[in-house]
Amino acid sequence: MASHDLRSGLRTAGTSRPEHRLRSYARLGKLDVFDYYLSILVVLAAVLPPLVRSGPATATMLLLFLLGQVCVIMAMVALDDVTGFRDGSDTANYGPDNPLRNKLRKPLVAGTLTERQAMAFARWTALAGAALWAAAVAVAPHRPLWAVVLTAALFVVSLQYSYGLKLSYHGFQEAFLVWLGLVLVVAPYGFAVGRFSWFLLVQGVLFGFGPLMFGVYSNTNDVEGDRAVGRPTVAALVSERGNAVFIGCLSAAEFLLGAVASAVGLAPWWFVLLMLPATALRTKQFLTGFVLGDIMRARRTGFAVHRVSVALLVAANLLVAAGATA
């Protein structure tokens, strides 16, 4: 009853601050969080030589894949909002007791969209994403089976992340976020060049660390709401100290992945050195969150880390391409 009353109050408050419905749909689809879509820049830098050779086919495939990616992720996050609204976790995390969170970012909580509108948005964007990814495969210069399977699996699993099977409610949230980033890099690369690359696999995992680290800092802030609805994030399952250790280990693992890849030859020897600016920012993020105690500022720092990391991955691919053509 209390949860229902809080929702009703927030809905009334939300309608007192109306905004254009298209803006609310953009918020529902989290279009302002464009960081997921930066994967296409990493791929583009990695496939420049075949892009020059194959001409329009690769460029068209990459554009269709990107548009499909936008639609699938919009459907995924919209379904996440529907589930969070239904179980009350978003109401708790974006309610009046948490003034640091802008409830307009959650249109269902703010009352600027209805549940029915959100579900329709999720269905249509999912259908558009499926059609666009199918078109990308159809026009791709190459169609390796592993890339087709990864793309199809990502589509299915994304829609089950917080809805349907609710995978994120069964302890798979952190692993999924890394896998999401990985597929968004390696699959379009496979469609462009027709082969697998260990170096691109390393880059895909590092790209996936961006969404992962957004997620774990958000989960740290949302721990009470997640515990209340039984969403088993690491932050909700362990102590505050245990969560800090977990995030510290993830931060170290990100650096070690690049270091090991350089050491064993999966990446150029200089790759770990190139990525040091991202490592330094990641360290700053951890200190901000768990030494200074400002989790929300640390979360915002995570976006800067991810964007710097993407720029460095693009630079790495350009350097490799320049060396190959020299």
Rounded to 5°, angle at Cα 271 from 282 and 196 = 105
- Looking from the CA of 202 toward its CB, the CA atoms found within 13 Å total 26
Token match 């250790």: residue?
245
Structural tokens at position 96: 């009046």
Q: Residue 4: pLDDT above 60?
A: no
Residue type, 173: Q
Q: What is the pLDDT confidence band of residue 102, given thresholds at 50, 70 and 90? A: low
Is pLDDT larger for residue 161 or for residue 89?
161
What integer is the mean pLDDT of 175-199?
95
Q: Provide the phi-psi class of 91: left if phi over 0, else alpha when psi is between -120 and 50, else beta.
A: alpha
Q: Residue 8: pLDDT above 50?
A: no
What integer is the mean pLDDT of 178-204?
96
What integer is the mean pLDDT of 61-66?
97
Q: What is the pTM of this model?
A: 0.88
What integer is the mean pLDDT of 11-21?
54
Q: Distance between alpha carbon 125 and the CA centroid of its chain, in Å? A: 17
> 268, 316 in Cβ contact below 8 A?
yes
**How far, in Å, CA of 158 to CA of 75, rounded?**
8
3-state secondary structure of 140: coil
Residue 32: which of 214, 275, 285, 216 has the closest Cα? 214
Structural tokens at position 74: 């919009």
Structural tokens at position 160: 């089950």
Instruction: Give me the helices (H) in the chain, please.
Output: 2-15, 21-28, 39-46, 48-54, 56-87, 89-93, 107-110, 115-139, 145-159, 173-193, 198-221, 223-229, 234-237, 240-264, 271-274, 276-290, 295-325
Is pLDDT larger for residue 57 or for residue 133?
133
**How far, in Å, CA of 129 to CA of 93, rounded?**
29
What integer is the mean pLDDT of 82-109?
72
Q: Identify which of 105-119, 213-227, 306-320 has the greatest average pLDDT.
A: 306-320
CA distances from 77 to 82, 116, 315 (A): 9, 15, 30
